[in-house]
Amino acid sequence: MTTARDFARFLRRALRVQFLRLPPLDQLIRHSYEAGVGSLGLVTVLIIFAGMGLTVQGYGAFVRFGGQSQLGVFVGIGGVRELYPVMAGIMVGARVGANLAAELANMKISEQVEALEVMSVDPMRYLVAPRLWATALMVPLLCAYSIVIGLCASYFAAVHQLDLNAGNYLAQLSDNVTWIDLAAGVFKGLIFGQLVALIACFFGMRAQKSEGAEGVGVATNRAIVFAAVSCIVVNMLLSAVMYT
């Protein structure tokens, strides 16, 4: 309960600082590059294999009752609405969230945060706000990118590995995957990005000098676990609201 109350207070302060004033531009650019470009390789590899795996598994289920011609519906809706955005969110949560938590925890333990306060620099605006903006901007773009890569990977698996008709497969995709589905996936990315950054910054700023180097590891571990679980839970809630 103490952690929940502390997070609620941190959330109110972080969002107030984030939206009342824009962060320093140089900080925003640096963290956006690290969160976005730095995650491209990881997201690309994982989404390619996830898209191909989803296609192969779906084919194995549909072929049992002769429904393999409907594979495009399953892959399109399941991938665009659920799999690709949530996987991108979790991967960014694991990579970027760990980096944010470790960096801030190290600064807190080494008293760099206190040094900023002594110089009348608000740590929330200088350290937290740029990271919140960076992930809020980059994760939706990564989700859109993951959707494109995932659909291309699923097409390759369906047509070149499973020998399905390319025209029929693309027709199924275009008839059942709408721009609303794509926008929903990108919107989920916005929520995931904000959530991951808030959790990572919270645990990073919560580290204590007395914890020493161990505090960095604890903050990083908690940030990864809570970010991943939160993305999955929030994804379920968003899907329930959007599609029911």
pLDDT at residue 140, rounded to an integer: 92
Q: What is the mean pLDDT of residues 36-64?
A: 89
Closest CA to 135 of 8, 36, 17, 6: 36
For residues 197 and 92, give the distance between their C-alpha atoms in angstroms, rounded to a whole number.
10
The answer to whether 188 and 143 are in contact (CB under 8 A) is yes
For residues 200 and 221, give the distance between their C-alpha atoms in angstroms, rounded to a whole number.
10
For residues 172 and 75, give the distance between their C-alpha atoms in angstroms, rounded to a whole number.
10
DSSP assignment of 159-187 equals: IIIS---HHHHHHHHHHH--HHHHHHHHH
Closest CA to 185 of 98, 29, 77, 113: 77
For residues 137 and 61, give the distance between their C-alpha atoms in angstroms, rounded to a whole number.
37
Q: Which residue has the tokens 């995931």?
A: 192
pLDDT band at residue 157 using 50, 70 and 90 as cut-offs: very high
pLDDT digits (tens, 9 = 90+) for 165-212: 888 888 888 888 888 888 988 999 999 999 999 999 999 888 877 677
pLDDT at residue 122, rounded to an integer: 81
Residue type present at position 167: G
Highest mean pLDDT out of 6-15, 25-34, 101-110, 144-153: 144-153
pLDDT at residue 90, rounded to an integer: 87
Q: Is the pLDDT of residue 23 over 70?
A: yes
- Tell if the pTM clears 0.95, that is, is over it: no
Burial of 58 (C-beta count, 10 Å sphere; 0-12/13-18/19+):
buried
Q: What is the SS3 assignment for 162? A: coil
pLDDT at residue 2, rounded to an integer: 67
Better-predicted residue by pLDDT, 126 or 67: 126
Closest CA to 201 of 94, 102, 92, 86: 102
Percentage of the chain beyond pLDDT 70 is 98
